[in-house]
Amino acid sequence: MPPANGAETLAWESSPGRALLALAGPTTLSLLSFACMGIVDTLFVSKLGAATLAGVGLGLVVTNFLGSFAFGLLRGVKVLLAQARGNDARSRVLVGAGVLVALQLGIGMAALGELTALVVSRFCATPEAGAAARSYIAVRCLGMPVLLIYVALREARYGYGETRSPLTSALIGNVTHALLDYVALFVLGWGAAGAALANILSFALQAGLLWLAQNETGFTFGAQARKARIEIARAGAFTGLQFVLEMGSLAALSLLLAGMSDLQMAAHQIAVQLAAFCFLPAMAIAESATVLAAEAYGHARFVAVHAVARAARRLGLAYAALCGLTLIAGGGVIAGWFTRETALTAVVRTVLVTVAAHQLFQSLALGSHGVLRGVGAARFSAMCSLACAWLCTPWLGYLLARHLELGAAGVWIAHAVEMAIASFTLARYFERGSWQRTQGAPRESMA
């Protein structure tokens, strides 16, 4: 059982909202590595036509799904480092273990990605879209080891409470990516494969910059690091499972749309990238809530954990409301950034209304997931995602998208319903205090 509520007051406890914003601001910018690259790819590839955009969109969803378990598992590096603050020797071991885990998973995911590329074109509506999806996945997955090492080092810096180096690397990496993407697509004419190569090279640059930053603190790659891989696996396994289930639901519905028409898949790709970009602050708030909740739980300050949860919900909901209004009011203008095709613009405008509703509920769910991971309740968090992502979304999405012929809009309505159910369930579990009664000691907290 966790110890009783501790007497030691944390430095940020009187203003958890400010502490969240202080962490979330730089974290938001550093998370740009994924979202901005997707936005830039979509903006540039959309100029090549709806079929190529549909293929690259499916390729992005598939590659993110293939890496999703590793993305979640490596969250364990951050929480274990946050709990180990002050113990420099253990911190170096954890960072080394995180890099080793990333390398091993990356090699396995690269091999799986090459096999996936061979069959993905069968799910596309046209041969042109299938060729784009196949070449994008084949090239992008070759860089999976580099991508996961970048993720491990980024999570390590967050665990140290240091956000400047991830921010700096993200800004440099995204500027580099935009330049490489333009050259690959419009100067060299490499198409979907060129877009994937630009992603690999920019992540390699970011990984190198974070490696240099970590050198100041150091790594340990010996026997202790190899043994600590098990700790990271245990800490992040349920978060990895959660990410797989969430991305798997998205991937299944994306395959459905890809087989319906290039128009619906292209609109879905634009919506996915806009949603990913817009929810960065909400994700950053959730990630920051994980760090603060883990620190509070480690000091047995359960009152502070509740304060973090309330602040995360308020901040996330306020941002999502502003973001949703922007998507609804500016839908036509936003769609015009990506395409001049009248039919595609009309579909995108409709889809963005449903994305706005999805954002509201997702912000609440993300905040709860973040806090529960920090206090060691990652198992319940993952199981909740399992139930919502697979017992609701695929079936409802299939009904709305295909049988009611709502297309991409139907898929996003299903996702909104999923997030509404998840946000209510997670909030109820947390407020009942079940995590205090059922979780193990603070040092076992999961990512």
Q: What CA–CA distance (Å, rounded) separates 295 from 82? A: 7
Res 31: pLDDT: 65
**In degrees, to the nearest 5, what angle opens at C-alpha 393 toward C-alphas 391 and 397?**
130
pLDDT at 446 over 70: no
Query: Which residue matches tokens 């997931």?
Result: 369
Res 447: pLDDT: 46
Res 250: pLDDT: 79
Res 149: pLDDT: 96
Res 32: pLDDT: 63
12: left (phi over 0), alpha (psi -120 to 50) or beta: alpha
pLDDT at 247 over 60: yes
Res 8: pLDDT: 64
Q: What CA–CA distance (Å, rounded) separates 268 from 332? A: 15
Residue 181 near residue 44 (C-beta atoms within 8 A):
yes
pLDDT, mean of residues 188-197: 93
pLDDT, mean of residues 106-123: 92
* pTM assigned to the model: 0.72
**How does pLDDT run across 145-174, given as a tens digit for each residue?**
999 999 999 999 888 878 788 888 988 998
Res 152: pLDDT: 94
Domain positions in the chain: 16-444
| Of residues 201, 197, 64, 71, the one with CA closest to residue 138 | 197
Q: What CA–CA distance (Å, rounded) separates 260 from 267? A: 12
More reliable by pLDDT, 65 or 239: 65
Average pLDDT, rounded, for the chain: 85
- pLDDT tier for residue 243 given thresholds of 50, 70 and 90: confident
> Tokens for 145?
């080891």
**How does pLDDT run across 290-349, given as a tens digit for each residue?**
888 888 887 778 888 888 888 888 888 898 999 889 999 988 898 888 888 888 889 999
